Amino acid sequence: MRYPYAASLVLLLLLVYTAPVNAQVVEDTSSVEFGFDDIVEEPPAPATESLGGWLDMVHISGRFDVNFEVQNPLENEALQQRSIRNYHKFLFLKVTPTDRITLDAEVLDLSYYEIGYDLSSRFNLRAGKIWVPFGATPFHHYYGGRQGDPFTGLLLPNVWSEFGGNLHGQVYSGDNMAIAGDLFAIRGFQNELGQVISFTNGGADDLFAYGGRLHLSLGSKIQAWGSALYNEFGVEDAEGQVLLWGGDLLLDYGLLDVPFLRDLRLRAAFARAEVQDDVLVDPDNNSESWYFRYGDYAEVSYRGLRVVTPRVRYGTIIDFDDDVTNNDSHNWEVALITRIQQHLMLLAQYQFNQEEVNEVDNDLFRFAMIFEF
102-161 pLDDT per residue, tens: 999 999 988 899 999 999 999 999 999 999 999 998 777 888 888 776 667 788 888 889
pLDDT one-digit tens code per residue, 152-167: 778 888 888 999 999 9
pTM listed for this prediction: 0.82
pLDDT one-digit tens code per residue, 37-53: 443 344 444 444 444 56
Mean pLDDT of 177-204: 91
**Closest listed residue to residue 134, CA positions, set 239, 210, 22:** 210
Which pLDDT score is estimated for 2? 37
Position with higher pLDDT, 52 vs 247:
247
pLDDT at 371 over 90: yes
**Closest listed residue to residue 364, CA positions, set 51, 34, 22:** 34
Position with higher pLDDT, 34 vs 330:
330
CATH architecture of residue range(s) 5-372 = Beta Barrel (2.40)
β-bridge mates for residue 204, sequence order: 188
- Least confident window among 29-33, 162-166, 279-283: 29-33
**Within 10 A of 91 (CB to CB), how many other CB atoms are there?**
16
Domain ranges for the chain, please list them.
Answer: 5-372
pLDDT one-digit tens code per residue, 297-350: 999 999 999 889 999 999 999 999 988 888 888 999 999 999 988 899 999 999
- Least confident window among 11-20, 199-208, 292-301, 353-362: 11-20
Contact (CB, 8 A) for 197 and 233: yes
- The average confidence (pLDDT) of the chain is 83
pLDDT at 16 over 50: no
Which pLDDT score is estimated for 186? 97
Position with higher pLDDT, 35 vs 214:
214
Which pLDDT score is estimated for 11? 37
SS3 annotation, the chain: CCCCHHHHHHHHHHHHHHCCCCCCCCCCCCCCCCCHHHCCCCCCCCCCCCCCCHHHHEEEEEEEEEEEEEECCCCCHHHCEEEEECCCEEEEEEECCCCCEEEEEECCCCCCEEEEEECCCCEEEEEEEEECCCCCCCCCCCCCCCCCCCCCECCCECCCEEEEEEEEEEEEECCCEEEEEEEEEEEEECCCCCCCCCCCCCEEEEEEEEEEEEEEEECCCEEEEEEEEEEEEEECCEEEEEEEEEEEEEECCCCCCCCCHHHEEEEEEEEEEEEECCCCCCCCCCCCCEEEEEEEEEEEEECCECCEEEEEEEEEEECCCCCCCCCCEEEEEEEEEEEEECCEEEEEEEEEEEECCCCCCCCEEEEEEEEEC
pLDDT one-digit tens code per residue, 171-184: 999 999 999 999 99
Which pLDDT score is estimated for 157? 85
Please state, in angstroms and rounded to a whole number, the distance separating the CA atoms of residues 160 and 138. Answer: 6
pLDDT at 268 over 60: yes
Please state, in angstroms and rounded to a whole number, the distance separating the CA atoms of residues 123 and 119. Answer: 5
| Radius of gyration for the alpha carbons in the chain, expressed in angstroms and rounded | 22
